[in-house]
A and B are shown apart, each in its own frame.
Chain A
Amino acid sequence: METQLKGVRTANTAVQPAVRPKRKSVNKFVTISLFLAPAIIVYVFYVLYPIFSTLLYSFYKWDGVGAGTYVGLQNYVNLLKDNVFWTSLTNNTWVILTSIFVQIPLGLIMALMLLAPIRGIRLFSGVYFFPFLISTVAVGLLWVLMLDPLNGIINRLVSVFGFENVEWLSQSHTAMFAVLLVIVWQFSPFYMILFKAAIVGIPEELYEAAEIDGANAFTKFFRITLPLLMPTIVSSSILAIVGSLKAFDIFYVMTGGGPNHGTELLGTYMFKQAFVNFNMGYASAIAFVMFFLAMIVTILIQALDFYRKKKGAYA
């Protein structure tokens, strides 16, 4: 009896090696799936499937209720003929340019101030970050009041330079300028943080060596700090481009895209078409263009990064 059992047992172990890897890989698959399942379900349901639906809706003329009519690429054709679409795209470009050429340099200046040999750094660094903390809606409402033609502090400020009662948000060009100013105010602190961390990471010896060679502050900044900050400047620019494509809140709150579409963005225009005019198909086409642009930017960045790394590997 006992020998028999032993025999069975050895037979079992002899068979096992053939079975085990498979069972183990099934087990591993189950484990991995269980870990990933909650995230994947939520993500597919609320992100991936909706993107696909948006693409689908964009081929329909649809008011959001009942079934739409299939119109093929008509929405996209109309979009290319739509002046407001081109205005929006131009305005989005302005947001991108402002982010890269005003916000990022200002963020860098702020970071440099936080590391400058002056007193009161704690106060400065504490307050500089404030604008990035509060909600865009609050920021927008606050600045609308500060830009008010009658009681706003901004007009009092510019009256020193001879401008009287500027109606900032009621004319296209001043409205765009005013909202861009607010964007700079709100987001520069974010870049300040990125730059501060990067500057702190630069080895002190480099500066000491430069000092021995008789370099002044400007030389040190342009020969050491700036070149070593290049990766941060590049990644900040990426964040700025992607963030600017998504811009919506501040424009919606401050101008609603007006006056007369003067500050319209892809985001605000899409929202109006979808939830004010109920042109859901047309709005989906705008939304998909936004997605497409973001995807192109992302792929370009990835490709550049890949190319840079490959080149680096050969060097």
Chain B
Amino acid sequence: MNLAIKKVPLYVIALILLVFTGYPFLYMISTSLKSRTEFFEKPYSLFSSFTLENFKSVFEMGLSRYFLNSILVSVIAVVAVMLIAALASYPLSRMKFKLNRVVFLLFIAGMMLPIHATLIPVFKLSQSMGLYDTVWALLGPYIASSLPISIFILTQFMQEIPASLEEAAKIDGCSHFGIFWRVILPMLTPALMTVLIYNFIHLWNEFIFALVLISSPENMTLPLGLQDFKGEFSVNIPGLMAALTLASLPILVVYLFSQEKVVKGLAGGAVKE
């Protein structure tokens, strides 16, 4: 009994934090299920009605286009980053050469870089390459800005792989590329998983490059499209909430199914085990 009373403050704090972190999501989802008139009558009621009208109108306004653009860009960029970063991490973590440290630090320093310092030149570049206002304009900046953290995660992991494996392959006559493909890459799966999750979520949510490099609605990614919706939905708040719910859904679903992996992935290189 005494012990149970002692725990009351703990439960109170835990519940306050639960409401603080979770309530906005309940509000978002429950508002998205209300009709407009109901929202004005009872703006605070939770799950008082369940209409899918808003979701329908959101799709009619072109949300699916934003979805497709976001999927296209994030998937291509993430796959490219995984491959390019893994290739670069191999010599950086497992071969001795003069500029190793310099090249490594140059990449890693990118994690500290404010994107703004590259914004205007990247904008000019995409204009001069004729990519401005296409989804393809985003690929280069997305891959480049994801490289530092990815190389950081992968080199850390690769250093742990014992050299004996590599030497055995070398004796069998494997070239460095052979070793990379057949020995290193298969062992890299957990680290690549981290890289995949971290970059996918970040690129899925990326805003500023999209804001600068894309102007027509049909080429917008989800975050930019949502921002664009804001104007059109200023009087239709349940509609806007439906759009927000849909945009957040894929990541929330992935999270519910593999919570631990997502948490570990999002913590990136910051959590070592």
Contact = CB atoms under 8 A, between A and B. Distances in A.
Contact of B97 (A28, A39, A51, A249): A28
A204 B107 CA distance: 38
Contact of A47 (B31, B40, B144, B271): B144
Contacts of A109: 13, 17
Contacts of A116: 10, 14
B140 A46 contact: yes
Contact of B207 (A135, A146, A288): A135
B22 A143 contact: no
A235 B110 CA distance: 17
Contact of B118 (A40, A46, A113, A126): A46
A193 interface: yes
B143 A270 contact: no
A84 to B, nearest CB: 16
B87 interface: yes
Interface string A169-201: 000000000000000010001100110010000
B39 to A, nearest CB: 8
Contacts of B40: 151
A127 B110 contact: no
Interface stretch (B50-58, B164-172, B222-230): B222-230
Contacts, number: 262
Nearest to B222: A135
B90 A43 contact: no
B147 interface: yes
A137 interface: yes
Interface in B209-240: 211-212, 222-224, 226-227, 230, 237, 240
Contact of A133 (B117, B140, B248): B248
Q: How large is the interface on B (under 10, 10 to 19, 20 to 34, 35 or more residues)?
A: 35 or more
Query: Interface centre among B95, B111, B112, B119, by most A CB within 10 Å?
Result: B112
Nearest to A118: B10
Interface string B64-105: 000000000000000000011101101110010100000100
A46 B21 contact: no
B145 interface: yes
Contacts of A266: 116
| A interface, over-half SS | helix
B144 A151 contact: no
A38 B140 CA distance: 12
Contact of A48 (B88, B106, B124): B106
Contacts of B33: none
A239 B263 CA distance: 17
A54 interface: yes
Contacts of B87: 35-36, 38-39
B240 A145 contact: yes
Nearest to B273: A197
A136 B119 contact: no
Contacts of B113: 47, 51, 291, 294
Interface stretch (A3-11, A69-77, A222-230, A240-248): A240-248
B22 A40 contact: no
B247 A135 contact: yes
A172 B28 CA distance: 26
A287 B119 contact: yes
A53 interface: yes
B18 A135 contact: no
Given A116-B14, A130-B252, A270-B116, A137 B207 contact: yes
Contacts of B116: 246, 248, 266-267, 270-271, 286-287, 290-291
A127 B23 CA distance: 10
A146 B24 contact: yes
Query: Interface centre among A128, A133, A275, by most B CB within 10 Å?
Result: A133
B17 A110 contact: yes
Given A47-B118, A53-B120, A129-B255, A137 B10 contact: no
A257 to B, nearest CB: 14
6 contacts: A36-B87, A127-B22, A185-B20, A242-B112, A248-B208, A290-B114
Interface of B: 7, 10-11, 13-14, 17-18, 20-22, 24-25, 27-28, 31, 39-40, 43-44, 83-85, 87-88, 90-92, 95, 97, 103, 106-107, 109-125, 140-141, 143-145, 147, 151, 175-177, 180, 201, 204-205, 207-208, 211-212, 222-224, 226-227, 230, 237, 240-241, 244, 247-248, 251-252, 255-256, 259, 262-263, 266-267, 270-273
